[in-house]
Amino acid sequence: MCKRPASSGARWIAGGWQLLKTRPGLVIGSVLLMYLLIFLTSFVPLIGMGAGYLIAPLLGGGVIIIFARIAEILERVEDEPLAREQPIGFDLLFSQFSGQAPWRPLLGLGGVTILVNLGVLLALAAYLSAAMPDDGLAVLSRPEMSDSERLAALLPWLTSGAAMGMWLLVVGVYVLYLSATLFAIPRVVLAESSLPNALAMSFRAVWANWLPMLVFGLIWLALFMTVPLTAGLSAILLVPWGWASMYAAYVSIFPLTEDESTQTNVPAD
């Protein structure tokens, strides 16, 4: 694991753009297809939302494999100009569903996401149960109330001074969760790490590189501010670009070694 300077945050975004522009149709199409499949899975009765969380890391692993193949082509293209024409299929998106792929830790990562979200929801429910009077909870359970009316009734309790501590706790939990999971998928797929090791290495990498991560995040915040200005159309480009930039950040912080199965030429600063 490497510690990078603050300027690396911008370099990672540039590296992501290099990956995207090499195969724009494949990168944009595979990421959008991933989110479409996760969205459609949410409509499956009984298991919809849970199944979506479970398959998301598997599909994300397929996206990482696609980026690794593109990076391999970029490495070869100087010596083999025809390598740029090498086909890369959308079937790689589903590569982590095979028996030889590390699908178990990826499923475990989905399980971690479910547990974190359930924990946050239970904490919110416990706070509301303690803060609201019994008659307030009874009013919320009335079937004739609409969702907007329930939200209006909850807002005073969710925005009170006492609620600020709860929201700070929620934000803290999600910061820790995102730190542990940001690089977990590529660690599992490319480095064949176990789930605990992948989570630990991701957490260490994010906090060891907090300054370039801050630059990285601020640039993306500015870019995503264009989404409402374009009626959401810019998200079609920005979301795949974000995934590609995350891959560029990963190979910068974790340069691939000889014992790892995939090679890349994405600049490592």
Query: What pLDDT score does 137 carry?
Result: 65
Counting as low any pLDDT under 70, the low residues of the chain are 83, 134-141, 144-145, 256-269
Query: What pLDDT score does 258 carry?
Result: 39
Each residue's pLDDT tens digit, 165-176: 888 999 999 999
The C-alpha atoms of residue 263 and residue 68 are separated, in whole angstroms, by: 7
Q: Please, what's the b/e burial string for 150-184 (b: 16 or more CB within 10 A of its CB; e: otherwise)?
A: eeeeeeeeeeeeebeebeeeeeeeeeebebbbbbb
> What percent of the chain is predicted at pLDDT more than 70?
91
Query: What pLDDT score does 269 carry?
Result: 59
Distances (CA, A) of 92 to 74, 76, 98, 128, 158: 18, 20, 11, 45, 44
Mean of the per-residue pLDDT values for the chain? 87
Check: CB of residue 252 under 8 Å from CB of residue 11: yes
The C-alpha atoms of residue 121 and residue 89 are separated, in whole angstroms, by: 39
Query: What pLDDT score does 187 carry?
Result: 96
The C-alpha atoms of residue 98 and residue 115 are separated, in whole angstroms, by: 25
- The answer to pTM > 0.75 is yes
The C-alpha atoms of residue 257 and residue 266 are separated, in whole angstroms, by: 14
Query: What pLDDT score does 257 carry?
Result: 55
Query: What pLDDT score does 178 carry?
Result: 96
Distance of CA 106 to the CA centre of its chain: 13
Query: What pLDDT score does 139 carry?
Result: 65
Secondary structure (3-state) at 236: helix
Query: What pLDDT score does 265 carry?
Result: 44
DSSP string, 91-160: GGGGGGGSTTS-HHHHHHHHHHHHHHHHHHHHHHHHHHHHHS-HHHHHHHT-TT--HHHHHHHHHHHHSS
